A and B are shown apart, each in its own frame.
Chain A
């Protein structure tokens, strides 16, 4: 589904990604973790070309993301993305947040889009909030709406960029619950997160990044059992120690 081959990226002189390669199969859930500044958010943004990269190749469903002729809007319409800071549209109601992509991009009718949107809103447990504005919702609720907004586009895979990092601790679980449900239904997911409980529960593989490199790319059991790299061992001991 997602193929990342030898991707490198520079900000001016500074190299943020160095020769990153991995692949995510259909239905697979892959967690990407690593210390801050390790390039994990940058890598996930490269997958739907929100960030350009200078070397290597990324394909999503067989389509090359970096190629010149690629219709990026069309590709992105089928790759769901959830951001650290939710990025709901503050000037639109929750219902409109859920329908705008469907009507403007997919060309669905207003009724059809509203029906689909409300169904997904119900699924994330927020049906009663449809008429409200994002500013009236808690962070956890906003992030659940953001997930529903991405799902409304009927994505072939979902990208999560630190979806719980900006949330108060008591709100993290309500978002993770939605993600776990999604994972168990077989959605292809690439998730940048430090939530190792989530990784243990639903991830098939864990990728560990450090200083722009993929240091470890292993099955969940292997990763949590005996990570090969010293850096990953240290990272795990730090975040799992309490």
Chain B
């Protein structure tokens, strides 16, 4: 019995509600880690660029540490170690939400750092000359421009994040991939299920990368 003759896509339709619930968690995890990661990453970037030595050093260490450990290990460690410290289990899904936010913050912070440095020094001077303080200059002048300049790169990182969320299957959180695995076992049709979710991952990532392309063109015009 060859692969092609036994291929049976009819098992996909009844699994759709189940796969949908998995996709919802994948999207929730992506959006949560993206927004939390960008906020935390921006603070880390400001800390790294700060003239306060210890603050800058701590942020640098955090970023370098996170970027030097495989994501899968961070996910597993966090899932296993936190309950040992706090004494109660966090649950796979909460654990995933927190881990991804902390991990992605390191990557987003490097993007925001480059973005902040892409804003000419004269812009901060102009803000200072108007009497603005550091917080006002960052909030109203530097960060909006940094964010705009880096929007395509931030989105690209989010596409990577979206794909990486599939690693949470290792701790049993029910994301799209995990849902496909379960559904595949139910019907004894893993190949069809994995192929179908691969298609979903592809369609979403491809659409997002087209969006990145369009944004890049638009930002080039604004400049």
Known A-B contacts A90-B145, A91-B145; the reply to A105 vs B122 at CB < 8 A is no
On whether the beta carbons of B148 and A91 are closer than 8 Å, the reply is: yes
User: Does A232 have its Cβ within 8 Å of any Cβ on chain B?
Assistant: no
Is A91 touching B132 in the complex (CB atoms < 8 A)? no
Known: A87-B122, A91-B145. A104 touches B132 (CB 8 A): yes
Q: Tell me the dominant secondary structure on chain B's binding face.
A: helix
CB pair B141 A81 closer than 8 Å: no
Other-chain residue from B128, B131, B132, B148 in contact with A50 (beta carbon distance below 8 A): B128
Answer whether residue A101 sits at the interface, using C-beta atoms and an 8 A cutoff.
yes
Considering residues A78, A88, A104, A135, which has the most beta carbons from chain B within 10 angstroms of its beta carbon?
A: A104
Given contacts A73-B131, A90-B145, contact A104 B136 (CB under 8 A): yes
Which residue from B122, B123, B129, B132 sits with its C-beta under 8 Å from A79? B129
Contact across chains for B132 and A83 when beta carbons are under 8 A apart: no
In angstroms, Cα B173 to Cα A120, docked, is 60
Choice from B125, B131, B141 contacting A77 with Cβ under 8 Å:
B131
A64 to B211 CA separation, bound complex (whole angstroms):
52
Closest beta carbon of chain B to A78's beta carbon, Å: 8
Chain A: CB-nearest residue to B134:
A73
Interface size on B, residues (CB 8 A): 18
- Which of A79-98 touch B at CB < 8 Å? 79-81, 83, 85, 87-91
| A83-B131 CB under 8 A given contacts A91-B144, A91-B148, A100-B140 | no
Interface membership of B207, Cβ < 8 A: no
Closest chain A residue to B125, Cβ basis = A50
Cα A77 to Cα B132 with chains together (Å):
8
- Most A Cβ at <10 Å: residue of B126, B128, B132, B148: B126
Binary flags per residue of B114-137, CB closer than 8 Å to A gives 1, else 0? 000000101101101111110010
Contact yes or no, B136 A105, CB < 8 A: yes
Partner of A89 from B126, B131, B133, B136 at Cβ < 8 Å: B126
Number of A interface residues at 8 Å Cβ cutoff, please give it: 29
Is there contact, CB below 8 Å, between B122 and A101?
no
Contact across chains for A48 and B129 when beta carbons are under 8 A apart: yes
B1 within 8 A of A: no
A73-B133, A101-B132 are contacts. A83–B126 as well, Cβ < 8 Å? yes
CA distance A83 to B120 in the complex (A): 13
A68: which B residues are within 8 A, CB to CB?
A: none
| Residue numbers in B under 8 Å from A50 (CB-CB) | 125, 128-129
* Chain A residues positioned under 8 Å from B133 (CB to CB): 73
What is the CA–CA distance of A150 and B128 in the complex, to the nearest angstrom? Answer: 12
Docked complex Cα distance between A89 and B144 (Å): 10
Q: Which residue of A lies closest to B131 (CB)?
A: A77
Q: Which residues from chain B contact A90 at a C-beta distance below 8 Å?
A: 145, 222
Residues of A within 8 A of B129 (CB): 48, 50, 76, 79-81, 83, 150
Asked if A101 and B130 sit within 8 Å, CB to CB, the answer is yes
Question: Which residues of chain B from 91 to 139 have any CB-CB distance to chain A below 8 Å in the complex?
Answer: 120, 122-123, 125-126, 128-133, 136
With a cutoff of 8 Å between Cβ atoms, the chain A residues found around residue B140 in the complex are: 100, 104
Interface string of B130-165 (1 = CB under 8 A from A): 111100100011001100100000000000000000
Shortest beta-carbon distance from A241 to chain B in Å: 32
How far, in whole Å, are A77 and B126 apart by their CA atoms in the complex?
11
Rounded to whole angstroms, the CA-CA distance of A153 and B132 in the bound complex is: 12
Report the Cα distance A74→B136, complex, angstroms: 13
CA distance A14 to B179 in the complex (A): 66
**A83:B125 contact, CB within 8 angstroms:** yes
Whether B130 lies near A153 (C-beta < 8 A) is: yes
Q: Which residues of A contact B148 (CB under 8 A)?
A: 91
> Top 9 closest A-B pairs, CB basis?
A77-B131, A101-B130, A87-B126, A81-B129, A105-B131, A87-B122, A76-B131, A73-B131, A73-B133
Using A81-B126, A87-B122, A104-B136 as known contacts, list a sample of 5 further A-B pairs with CB atoms less than 8 Å apart, ordered by residue number in A.
A76-B128, A88-B126, A100-B130, A149-B130, A153-B131
- Some 14 contacts from A to B, beta carbons below 8 A apart, are A45-B125, A73-B128, A74-B131, A75-B131, A78-B131, A81-B125, A83-B125, A87-B126, A89-B123, A90-B145, A91-B145, A91-B148, A100-B140, A135-B222
Chain A residues close to B by CB (< 8 Å) = 45, 48, 50, 72-81, 83, 85, 87-91, 100-101, 104-106, 135, 149-150, 153
